[in-house]
Structure 1
Amino acid sequence: MSIRTRVVVGVYPGQADGVVLQAAVFAARFHAELVCAWVDPGRHPRADHADAPAVGPVADPPTDSPTIGTPATPRVAQFSPYLAAHLERILGGHDIAWSTHQLTGDPARALGQLAESLRAAMIVVGTRDGTVRGSLQEFFAGSIAMNLAHRQNRPVVVIPLSPVSFDDDLPWESD
């Protein structure tokens, strides 16, 4: 199977499996490699150049014939072993090529820069979680999906994690 394009999906420990599984469906339909990118916002991008990509320890460069179901091995620091094992469990039965990338800094910027460097067909992210932590994070940092949607020249697909009925108020609509 020759990989012509890539689908980037933002992942993090504890994320709902539905986001990665739906991204895998897109990757399969487009005959694309699924690139699972975890952004560590606590670490900062390289300081030697202000416009340097927010890519921390990255996986080896993709090849034209990646191994199906085998995450890439990082060169500098390791992608979260817990998260890699979890991805292996949920993606192992799918006939798609996939890899992992460890990124740093602002999540929207890092995912966008990775997608740009890989010429990805799309970026897939989930909606924020409904916890207080998720609400505070969105309040201070803004919505990753919204930031990507306004700053990308490629499609951003947002997978709903906890859909709310149209009859119910959204958390930010109730006072």
Structure 2
Amino acid sequence: MAETATGSHGADASDDAFHGAVIAGVIPGQSPRVMKEGARYAKLFGAPLVIVHVDVTRFVTYEDPDGYVHSAPIDIDLSSGETALEDVRASASALLEKSDLVWTVRQLVGDPALAMKHLAEQLDAKLLVVGTRKRGIGESIREFFTGSVAARLAHRQARPILVVPLGEPVSDDEEIWPA
């Protein structure tokens, strides 16, 4: 599971209030398109929106029977995950503060695909929304080693996934993963 409720608008952040939610996986500095599409589908479905940031610098050590997750850092700099969460929370507030949606921001820890899958099961989510990766050699290398979050979600759970294109699309004759 690996999550922490971090604030909400229109409801408390309990799981009951977010049953059947649309979950949008967001990273700091990302285009707001993922959040906007998540909000759009939440409104279409009449569902709450859960915006999640996954702190990949922490991992789950164990989960109590009551659902509380204990985690440990991979990196000694604990502030990096907190800063990222604050960035996501600020972006969500700026985008959604005037909407009538019920929404919350939560932080998960560990592997993004597994953490989002677990939360989706817990909330009985209607839809998962994620963005494509950034273009560039660094992101290509990272994806080579860790895999695509969208692809891993598609193979590990049965809920629908909306993959939102970020940045400029690659033309038909251009390499997707340049050498």
Match of 1:16 in 2: 31
For the residue of structure 1 that corresponds to 2:125, the secondary structure is: coil
Question: In 1, Cα distance between the equivalents of 2:118 and 2:140?
Answer: 25
- Post-superposition shift, 1:134? 1.9
Question: In 1, Cα distance between the equivalents of 2:116 and 2:68?
Answer: 9
Cα deviation code 1:62-112 (max 9, x no counterpart): xxxxxxxxxxxxxxx898222211110011232211101111111000001
Match of 1:137 in 2: 142
Computed over aligned residues only, the root mean square deviation of the Cα atoms, in angstroms, reads: 2.8
Structure 2 unaligned residues grouped into runs of 5+: 1-9, 11-16, 72-81
The aligned amino acid for 2:56 is P
Q: Which of 103, 108, 111 is the matching residue for 2:113?
A: 108
Match of 1:44 in 2: 59
Question: In 1, Cα distance between the equivalents of 2:50 and 2:58?
Answer: 20
Change (3 A) 1:10 1:106: same
How do 1:1-175 residues align onto structure 2 when only pairs under 5 Å count?
Answer: 5-47=20-62, 80-172=85-177
- Post-superposition shift, 1:136? 2.0
The structure in which a higher percent of residues are strand is: 2
Total equivalences in the alignment: 152
Match of 2:13 in 1: none
Same amino acid, percent of matched pairs? 38
TM-score (norm 1): 0.76
The structure in which a higher percent of residues are helix is: 2
Change (3 A) 1:12 1:56: farther
Change (3 A) 1:164 1:83: closer
Structure 1 unaligned residues grouped into runs of 5+: 58-76
Quick check: 2:24–2:51 contact (8 Å CA) kept in 1? yes
For the residue of structure 2 that corresponds to 1:100, the secondary structure is: strand
Quick check: 2:27–2:84 contact (8 Å CA) kept in 1? no
- Post-superposition shift, 1:3? 6.6
